[in-house]
Structure 1
């Protein structure tokens, strides 16, 4: 992303044309590949987001993780992937989809949050408390945060659960699929600095105006948008395992 912006990208470099393959740098996180016909007309574009490891970042997180282990001696440290899905009301879900509910609880061992209820009528009033433990109003009135709900989300980034995880040495990720209508961007500026270690937003911003490949907003050419998003967090799963001997746990919100 362009420095100081969460809605504009900056192209770092453009490679020479190639026919079969090209070597990319280990630090390249977001790549746009464009194909041309014999008349040099663009006929397709592909967008890729890669999970890269920053050695200096790893050193800092490794030190924090060691302090966490020495202080608390947990039996195991599991990686956490938190999926947020806009859906129907909990009570309506129970009435309309009883088989799905039964499958989630009985087969996938899902936990039902019996006393959890919505706090507002849109995404932000519900997601912000879920991820910080505080409502928008509480964050605004708290002298520690002084949150301007229409400003930059950096003001309260340290209040989010991924920052708690980072302080314990967890690698962190945030996977978003929209530009303007996320809980962090609707009527807000988003983040002026990367809020987590791994952030897929650049390819989302870069591709959203691509009339050639984004003719339907839910696809990247012939690839479903949800597949593109899931591929990113699958990279996190492969990069940072979650076994009992896991030394590099991660927390990601999707």
Structure 2
């Protein structure tokens, strides 16, 4: 029950499509992410997937669940009814642990993300710096080179394929002389792996499909996400739950706050 309710509170509104911003893609990649959302030493990892759309100058990265739901909404295969219970049943299967929409250009990174019932956006300089390491690993049929960087409070290790001359990768990571096919931090809290790459020339009309987005300071965004656990009172969400259930859910929110393990431990 806890997970379903959290999906309702934090993710339901991410699929509200009102205005479209398209992205022109020439290549498409799929990544898995093995992640630990808890900072406990014995935390179990979970698995999710993402899509990366690219052309030679820009990329766009988002959760595969969000991508699928946005597509179904755009082509009117599913729709919101205004009934919270019915909409939850429809959209909960598209819930995303990491619902950020991340656009990358040569000089900037643009992020749109939901914070409870609103959308915020921020931008940051695309200034990641890598150290290339003279080490190689066979991934699939490719001989991939190692690179390391310190970014967002973590030490990251990447392997890129120099035979695919696209300088992009998962999340916000880019600027290597080849597509990133594997990326992980040294604690293995977050581990991305490429599982699909193909040429696919098309225009995605629903890449960033939100309106009434409020600009925010990046340093506030992750704190708001963390505080959202504490700001949820389940007595406002559940109509028929008994008092003990409400207390348990609210206590669990406090645990989630204390154990929150974001990708970015600091904003730089």
* TM-score, length basis structure 1: 0.29
Name which one, 1 or 2, has greater alpha-carbon Rg.
1
Higher strand proportion (structure 1 or 2): 2
Higher helix proportion (structure 1 or 2): 1
Higher relative contact order (CA 8 A, sep 6+): 1
